[in-house]
């Protein structure tokens, strides 16, 4: 009886705790003197991140969305994409979301956003929400202060102009294979195919693991048994990353779980084994005095050597030098998870836009044909061709600017004043300066009123014979 009473009281305890946290955060947010929107659930709640998309999918299929309260919009993942500037126009250039988990200040003011970005000491990037990413070890996403600078110094080294030629060559090969597959077999899933392209380029250039392109139409059903390749292990991890983040690899291999979840656990174990193997190979090359593969792992291993050497030094030096083995593994996972996913999503969205606007395809093709001047793909040299592809770069920049896949988040460390002059935000949890606004950006293209957005840079450089013009609806804004 006592156990039953305890079980029945748990929902009530959770409800009271949630209401208390929401009330506390409301009192904190009230000091901002800004418009507030209250949410009963925090978007970072893990259980809600898993169940939320399923619940909203059911709501949408039943046609219940028009009958829901307006605040439910802000519970949806990526709510800022359909909302765009609507809420900022209604509430003002600064407003806040109040949840049981914190207070989230939303900025749509150019001066305030520039101030936040410039003053990193007062507005550090919060690390607590990202600690869930420490699946294989600490990483740059969860580092702050000097530790963040230490991680960034190591990770930035291999991503330079020297490796871009290799990236260019690999991307051309993968893109050519994808186009050939589409011409012969058609397109089963452009999203999966661009994801495969992105994964293959990252595996080859970052980790020295080249693979032939494999279209979605060529994929075979996954088998629960058998050895997985590096690419397949990584693909399974990325496709099921939420389960991996919540349950963790060591629990996913339990025999009491469904075979589908055990398969994710085996993929995580295989990926860890590949990382250990790559680490040992690069370490052996380093000890022999060889240059190694020149991949990201080479740079990480050298950083690991630096970290190991620093162990004999002072504590201060040890904290600011190199990377530990766990940090190497943690950063490899984050680079694959964050870097690959954002690249794949940008490519997929670009493909969708190009399919919707054939005139933009012709616009890009005109530039490519003029720049390559009849040469075969094998003759397209990075330094000779890429700098002249202004239209292609304009498309990518515009997609990244107006169809961004992540938010810019900052925590508030002290009580800094912002140029918006709306009170003291010292207790606000996060700043999310991601909202376009007519007072800060050109409102014409965002509304689709302009017929085109012209960019005459290529014409001025003498690359093209006439100024270039892009249909605004495909781009989203002027470039």
Q: How confident is the model over 366-408, as pLDDT tens digits?
A: 999 999 988 998 899 999 999 999 999 888 887 777 665 555 5
**Tens of pLDDT, residues 417-426:** 555 444 444 4
- pLDDT band at 305, cuts 50/70/90? low
Q: Quick one: pLDDT at residue 412?
A: 58
Q: Quick one: pLDDT at residue 370?
A: 92
Domains of the chain: 155-346 (1.10.630.10)
Does residue 363 surpass a pLDDT of 60? yes
- pLDDT band at 479, cuts 50/70/90? very low
pTM of the model: 0.74
% residues pLDDT > 70 (the chain) = 77
Does residue 456 surpass a pLDDT of 60? no
DSSP assignment of 175-199 equals HHHHHHHHHHH--S-HHHHHHHHHH
Most confident of 26-30, 222-226, 458-462: 26-30
Does residue 103 surpass a pLDDT of 70? yes
Q: Quick one: pLDDT at residue 444?
A: 47
- pLDDT band at 462, cuts 50/70/90? very low
Distance, in Å, from the CA atom of 186 to the CA atom of 199, rounded to the nearest integer, reads: 21
Q: Quick one: pLDDT at residue 311?
A: 57
DSSP SS3 for 457: helix
Tokens of 446: 């965002």
Does residue 39 surpass a pLDDT of 90? yes
Tokens of 92: 């003002």
DSSP SS3 for 99: strand
Q: Quick one: pLDDT at residue 307?
A: 64
Under a CB-based contact definition with an 8 Å cutoff, are residues 108 and 94 in contact?
yes
Does residue 416 surpass a pLDDT of 70? no
- pLDDT band at 357, cuts 50/70/90? confident
- pLDDT band at 356, cuts 50/70/90? confident
**Tens of pLDDT, residues 254-273:** 888 888 888 899 999 999 99
Q: Quick one: pLDDT at residue 410?
A: 57
Under a CB-based contact definition with an 8 Å cutoff, are residues 211 and 231 in contact?
yes
| Mean of all residue pLDDT scores within the chain | 77
Q: Quick one: pLDDT at residue 299?
A: 77
Instruction: Lowest mean pLDDT of 11-20, 279-288, 324-333, 417-426, name the range.
Output: 417-426
3-state secondary structure 260-319: HHHHHHHHHHHHHHHHHHHHHHHHHHHHCCCCCCCCHHHHHHHHHHHHHHHCCCCHHHHH
DSSP 74: G
Does residue 326 surpass a pLDDT of 50? yes
**In 3D, which of 114, 123, 124, 121 has the Cα closest to residue 419?**
114
Q: Quick one: pLDDT at residue 398?
A: 79
Q: Quick one: pLDDT at residue 423?
A: 42
């Amino acid at each position: 009886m006592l156990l039953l009473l305890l079980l029945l009281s748990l929902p009530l305890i959770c409800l009271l705790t949630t209401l208390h946290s929401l009330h506390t955060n409301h009192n904190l947010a009230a000091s901002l003197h800004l418009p507030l929107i209250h949410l009963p659930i925090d978007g970072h709640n893990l259980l809600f991140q898993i169940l939320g998309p399923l619940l909203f999918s059911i709501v949408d299929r039943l046609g219940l969305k028009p009958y829901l309260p307006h605040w439910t919009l802000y519970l949806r993942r990526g709510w800022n994409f359909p909302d765009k500037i609507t809420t900022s126009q209604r509430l003002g250039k600064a407003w806040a979301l109040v949840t049981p988990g914190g207070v989230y200040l939303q900025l749509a003011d150019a001066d305030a956003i520039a101030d936040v970005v410039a003053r990193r000491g007062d507005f550090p990037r919060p690390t607590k929400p990202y600690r869930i990413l420490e699946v294989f070890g600490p990483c740059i996403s969860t580092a702050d202060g000097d530790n963040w600078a230490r991680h960034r110094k190591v990770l930035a080294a291999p991503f330079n102009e020297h490796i871009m030629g290799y990236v260019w060559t690999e991307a051309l090969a993968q893109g050519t294979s994808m186009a050939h597959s589409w011409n012969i077999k058609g397109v089963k899933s452009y999203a999966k195919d661009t994801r495969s392209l992105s994964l293959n380029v990252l595996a080859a250039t970052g980790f020295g693991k080249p693979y032939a392109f494999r279209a979605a139409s060529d994929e075979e059903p996954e088998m629960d048994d058998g050895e997985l390749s590096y690419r397949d292990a990584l693909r399974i991890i990325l496709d099921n990353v939420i389960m991996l983040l919540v349950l963790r690899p060591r629990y996913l291999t339990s025999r009491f779980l469904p075979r589908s979840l055990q398969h994710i656990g085996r993929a995580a174990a295989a990926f860890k084994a590949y990382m250990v193997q790559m680490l040992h190979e690069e370490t052996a090359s380093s000890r022999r005095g060889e240059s190694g593969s020149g991949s990201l792992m080479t740079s990480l291993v050298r950083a690991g050597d630096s970290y190991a050497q620093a162990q004999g030094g002072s504590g201060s030096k040890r904290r600011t030098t190199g990377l530990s083995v766990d940090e190497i593994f943690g950063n490899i996972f984050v680079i694959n998870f964050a870097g690959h996913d954002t690249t794949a999503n940008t490519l997929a969205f670009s493909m969708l836009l190009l399919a919707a606007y054939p005139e933009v395809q012709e616009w890009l093709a005109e530039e490519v044909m003029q720049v390559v001047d009849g040469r075969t793909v094998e003759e397209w040299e990075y330094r000779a061709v890429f700098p002249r592809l202004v239209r292609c770069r304009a498309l990518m920049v515009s997609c990244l600017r107006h169809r961004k896949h992540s938010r810019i988040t900052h925590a508030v460390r002290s009580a800094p004043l912002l140029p918006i002059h709306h009170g003291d935000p010292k207790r606000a949890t996060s700043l999310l300066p991601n909202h376009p606004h007519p007072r800060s950006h050109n409102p014409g293209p965002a509304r689709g009123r302009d017929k085109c957005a012209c960019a005459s840079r290529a014409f001025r450089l003498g690359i093209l014979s006439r100024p270039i013009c892009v249909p605004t609806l495909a781009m989203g804004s002027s470039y």
